[in-house]
């Protein structure tokens, strides 16, 4: 995600945080559920030449999207992969008991790092990833894995968060100190570059901005912690945050308050790409990243 050592994510803490949140995650994951529904809506307009047989959900969490895909493609085998064991345990519990007892479920659960997925080359017809990529330090490595696993005529659909996510919280902390208090997020253009470098073709991306409101800063921080989405960067302050600093953050954040409360912004990036072509069929230079004109221009 970033070469900045302070922004480097601790994978072990990511896994532990989401495992702890698993039991109560799904009802509280308002953003994740809303974005996941938007991702599946985009899948509806994709023309699949044949019904998919193998589908992989990377960063599956408690398996909500995996279950919806199983309903949509009743003959496909579904693989839910996640780095957090607790999330997968929770996802497995959602399968009807008789299917688990008789081992007739088409849903399979695999604990794995997105940079080292234990699936055969060109084995997946569809790869879906909902709001997982922002938890990866090396998006290029993840894109290479997606390109390896996806069939040449397969499709990748994903969502992730862009740099304007949690901007109010980040800017409020910046008035207090220079520590890393909010995770950093990758720019849409860098995502497109990584997809093309991996050999995936015809990447298309668009951006949506979502705003939620909270009564207080503490309510926001509690919400992030409850779903495991709190700060796990290497540059985070160690130990407890002093009352003085926290009060300063609260005061800074209050300047953003509007009639609905304290706004929390999310820059949501949606994207899809087709499987990697054999090298002899690739164009030189490789294709173009299609981005809406309104989004052209780096920050």
List the pLDDT tens digit at each of the 299 positions of the chain: 444 565 688 889 899 999 999 999 999 999 999 999 999 999 988 877 789 999 999 999 999 999 999 999 999 999 999 999 999 999 999 887 666 655 567 899 999 999 999 999 999 999 999 999 999 999 999 999 999 999 999 999 999 999 999 999 999 999 988 887 888 899 999 999 999 999 999 999 999 999 999 999 999 999 998 888 765 565 555 544 668 889 999 999 999 999 999 999 999 999 999 998 766 554 444 444 444 434 434 44
Beta strands in 104-248 (DSSP E): 107-111, 124-130, 150-161, 201-214
Q: Is residue 82 part of a domain?
A: yes
- Phi, psi for 216 (deg, rounded to 5): -140, 165
Residue 291 lies in a domain: no
| pLDDT value, residue 242 | 67
The domain total for the chain is 1
Considering the domain boundaries, does residue 118 fall inside one? Answer: yes
Give the pair of three-digit tokens for residue 199: 């050999």
Q: How far apart are CA 147 and CA 157, in angstroms?
A: 12
What's the half-sphere exposure (Cβ side, CA atoms, 13 Å) at 132? 31
Strand partners, 213: 263
- How wide is the angle at C-alpha 4 spanned by C-alphas 3 and 8, nearest 5°? 90
Query: Does 238 fall in a domain?
Result: no
CA distance 252 to 122: 50
Distance CA(219)–CA(24), nearest Å, equals: 16
Please give the Cα distance from 179 to 226 (Å, whole number): 22
pLDDT at 244: 86
Give the C-alpha separation, 183 to 180, whole Å.
7
Provide the 10 A C-beta neighbour count for residue 47.
5
On whether the CB atoms of residues 122 and 152 are closer than 8 A, the answer is yes
Q: Which residues contact 266 (CB under 8 A, 6 or more apart)?
A: 31, 161, 165, 166, 209, 210, 211, 212
- Global pTM? 0.86
End-to-end CA distance of the chain: 16
Q: Is residue 173 part of a domain?
A: no
The alpha carbons of the chain give a radius of gyration, in whole angstroms, of 20
Q: What are phi and psi of 33, to 5 degrees?
A: -70, -40
Round to whole Å and give the CA distance between 32 and 94. 18
Task: Match 């004109």 to its residue by tokens.
Answer: 293
Please check whether residue 191 lies inside any domain of the structure.
yes
Q: Is 229 contained in some domain?
A: no
Task: Give the angle subtended at the CA of 193 by the CAs of 189 and 196, to the nearest 5°.
Answer: 140
Spell out where the chain has E strands: 54-58, 77-82, 107-111, 124-130, 150-161, 201-214, 262-274
Residue 229, token pair as written in the block: 């989405």
The reply to whether 13 falls in a domain is yes
Of 29, 60, 38, 41, whose CA–CA distance to 208 is shortest? 38
| Domain containing residue 40: CATH number | 3.40.50.150
Helix (H) or strand (E) holding 68: helix 64-72
Domain ranges, residue 65: 5-162+184-208+267-279
């Amino acid at each position: 995600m970033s070469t900045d050592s302070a922004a480097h994510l601790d994978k072990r803490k990511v896994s532990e945080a989401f495992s702890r949140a698993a039991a109560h995650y799904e009802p509280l994951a308002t953003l994740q559920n809303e974005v996941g529904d938007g991702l599946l809506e985009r899948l509806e307009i994709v023309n699949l030449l044949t019904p998919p047989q193998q589908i992989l959900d990377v960063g599956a969490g408690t398996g909500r999207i995996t279950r919806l895909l199983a309903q949509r493609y009743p003959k496909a085998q579904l693989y839910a992969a996640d780095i957090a064991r607790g999330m997968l345990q929770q996802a497995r519990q959602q399968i009807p008991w008789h299917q688990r007892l008789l081992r007739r479920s088409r849903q399979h659960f695999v604990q794995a790092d997105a940079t080292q997925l234990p699936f055969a080359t060109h084995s997946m017809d569809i790869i879906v990833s909902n709001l997982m990529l922002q938890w990866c330090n090396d998006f290029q490595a993840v894109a290479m894995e997606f390109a390896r696993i996806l069939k040449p005529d397969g499709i990748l659909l994903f969502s992730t968060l862009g740099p304007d996510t949690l901007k109010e919280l980040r800017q409020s902390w910046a008035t207090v100190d220079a520590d890393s208090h909010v995770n950093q997020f990758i720019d849409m253009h860098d995502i497109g570059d990584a997809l093309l470098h991996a050999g995936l073709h015809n990447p298309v991306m668009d951006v949506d901005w979502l705003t939620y409101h909270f009564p207080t800063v503490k309510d926001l921080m509690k919400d992030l912690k409850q779903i495991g989405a709190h700060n796990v960067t290497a540059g985070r302050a160690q130990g407890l945050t002093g009352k003085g600093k926290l009060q300063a953050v609260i005061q800074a954040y209050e300047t953003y308050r509007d009639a609905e409360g304290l706004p929390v912004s999310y820059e949501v990036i949606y994207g899809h790409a087709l499987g990697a072509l054999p090298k002899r069929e690739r164009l030189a230079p490789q294709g173009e990243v299609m981005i809406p004109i309104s989004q052209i221009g780096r920050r």
